[in-house]
Copies of this chain bind each other. A is one copy, B any other.
Amino acid sequence: MHTIGIDIGGTNTDVGFVNTSGEVVLRRNLPTAQYSDAEKYADDLAKLILEMKNELGVEVKGIGIGAPNGNFYTGCIEDAPNLNMHGNIFLAKMLEERLHLPCVLTNDANAAAYGEMVYGGAKGMKHFIMFTLGTGVGSGIIVDGKLLYGHDGFAGELGHTIIVPNGRQCKCGRRGCVEQYTSAGGIVQTCKELLAENPEYKGSLSQISVDKIDSKAIGDAANQGDKLAIEVFERTGAILGLAMANAVAFSSPEAVFLMGGPVKAGEVLLDPVRRSFDANVLSNYRGKVKICVSQLKQNDVAILGAAALVN
C-alpha cells in the first residue's frame, strides 16, 4: 500500500507517492499559481493523481495534504494569502469526492514537523517544535507525539508572535512578528538596513544590484567571511534564538528543529541562533533542549509529512 503526500505552495503543488519504507517513489507537480478556480484546480490535481497511480499500478491507502492556512479539523484551506484561489477551499472533501480515497489536510509547517517525527531527525521524540523558514515563517508543534492543533485547528503560528514591539510592519497587519526578521525576505531586509548603515561597505554584496540580493547570496557572502553578511545573520540569529527561547517556555520540548532556505547558510546562522537561545532561555531549560536542523531533504519533507498523516 502506498500513501500520497501533497505539498501545496504558492508557486507549485508537489505530489509524491510514498512507499512503506518512506521513500518518494514518484513525484509530479502542478503550477498552483496558474489557478484562480479551486474546482478546476481540484479536477486537475485528481487527474494528475490518477495518472500517477496508473503509471505505478499500486494501491493507495489515502492522501495527506500540507497547505498554507490548512485547517486539520475542517480539511479547509482558509483564505491563504499566497494563493490565487481565494476564500475557503474544502480541498480534502473535494479530492475525496473525486478520488474516493480518505484525505487529510493540515498546515504545511505541521506536515513538515510530522514528517520529521516519522521519517527524520525527530524519530522517537514526543515533544519538539519545528520552525520552517522560507517566504514566510511557519511552525509545527509536537506535543505527546501528536501535532498540536488547538481549539480551532490553528495552533502553532509562531512566525506571527510579536518579538519586536512596534517593529517591522508585517503582512498580517501587525508589527514586529518573528516572520519579518527570520524569513528569507526578513533576512534581506536586515541586509538592506545594514547596507544603509554602512555606506563605506565595499564587500561582495555591494556588487549585486539591491533587488537581486536574496538570503542565499547573503549566506554565500557570510560563508566567505564578509563581515556585513555575518552581521546580518548575527541579527537574524538574535531574534530567532529569542523566539525559540520563548517557545520553549511554552511546551518544554526536547528539541527545536529548523528547516528551509535560510538554514542552508549553516553555522553562520546556527551559531548566533544557539548563542541567543542560550542567553534568552529560562535556566530551567538551559542545556536541555537540542537545536537541530531538519534531517530530511527539503524537497521531500512536506510530501513525507503529509503522507505520514494518513497512517
Q: Which A residues are closer than 8 A to B by beta carbons?
A: 69, 78, 126-127, 141, 143-144, 146, 148-158, 160-165, 172-174, 242, 245-247, 249-254, 279-280, 282-285, 288
Nearest CB in chain B: distance from A272 CB, A: 15
Could you say which of B126, B161, B254 contacts A246, with CB atoms under 8 Å apart?
B161
The reply to whether B247 and A284 form a contact with Cβ atoms under 8 Å apart is no
The quantity of this chain's copies bound in the complex is 2
Q: A157-B249, A250-B247, A251-B155 known; A242 and B165 CB under 8 Å?
A: yes
Could you say which of B69, B161, B252 contacts A155, with CB atoms under 8 Å apart?
B252
The reply to whether B157 and A148 form a contact with Cβ atoms under 8 Å apart is no
Chain B residues with CB below 8 A from A250, complex form: 141, 148, 155-156, 158, 161, 247, 250-251
The reply to whether A152 and B282 form a contact with Cβ atoms under 8 Å apart is no
**Most chain B CB within a 10 A radius of its CB, from A78, A154, A156, A172:** A154
Query: Considering the chains assembled together, what is the distance between the CA atoms of A130 and B281 in angstroms?
Result: 21
Chain B residues with CB below 8 A from A151, complex form: 126-127, 252-254, 288
Query: Considering the chains assembled together, what is the distance between the CA atoms of A161 and B158 in angstroms?
Result: 13
Query: Considering the chains assembled together, what is the distance between the CA atoms of A156 and B162 in angstroms?
Result: 18
Nearest CB in chain B: distance from A115 CB, A: 20
Query: Considering the chains assembled together, what is the distance between the CA atoms of A162 and B249 in angstroms?
Result: 10
**Nearest B residue to A289, CB-CB:** B151
The reply to whether A149 and B282 form a contact with Cβ atoms under 8 Å apart is no
**Nearest B residue to A146, CB-CB:** B144
Chain B residues with CB below 8 A from A280, complex form: 162, 174
The reply to whether B242 and A157 form a contact with Cβ atoms under 8 Å apart is no
Q: A173-B283, A282-B172 known; A161 and B253 CB under 8 Å?
A: no
The reply to whether A282 and B174 form a contact with Cβ atoms under 8 Å apart is yes
Chain B residues with CB below 8 A from A149, complex form: 252
- Beyond known contacts A157-B282, A158-B249: 9 more, CB 8 A cutoff: A126-B151, A149-B252, A151-B252, A154-B285, A160-B282, A161-B246, A162-B246, A173-B283, A174-B282
Query: Considering the chains assembled together, what is the distance between the CA atoms of A173 and B286 in angstroms?
Result: 12
The reply to whether A150 and B127 form a contact with Cβ atoms under 8 Å apart is yes
Chain B residues with CB below 8 A from A247, complex form: 250
Query: Considering the chains assembled together, what is the distance between the CA atoms of A34 and B164 in angstroms?
Result: 43
The reply to whether A251 and B148 form a contact with Cβ atoms under 8 Å apart is yes
Nearest CB in chain B: distance from A278 CB, A: 11
**Nearest B residue to A157, CB-CB:** B249
Q: A162-B280, A172-B282 known; A153 and B252 CB under 8 Å?
A: yes
Chain B residues with CB below 8 A from A144, complex form: 146
Chain B residues with CB below 8 A from A282, complex form: 157, 160, 172, 174
Query: Considering the chains assembled together, what is the distance between the CA atoms of A161 and B247 in angstroms?
Result: 8
Nearest CB in chain B: distance from A54 CB, A: 39
Instruction: Enumerate 15 A-B pairs (CB-CB under 8 Å) in ascending A order.
Output: A69-B284, A126-B151, A141-B251, A144-B146, A148-B251, A151-B288, A152-B252, A154-B285, A155-B250, A156-B250, A156-B252, A158-B249, A162-B245, A172-B283, A250-B251
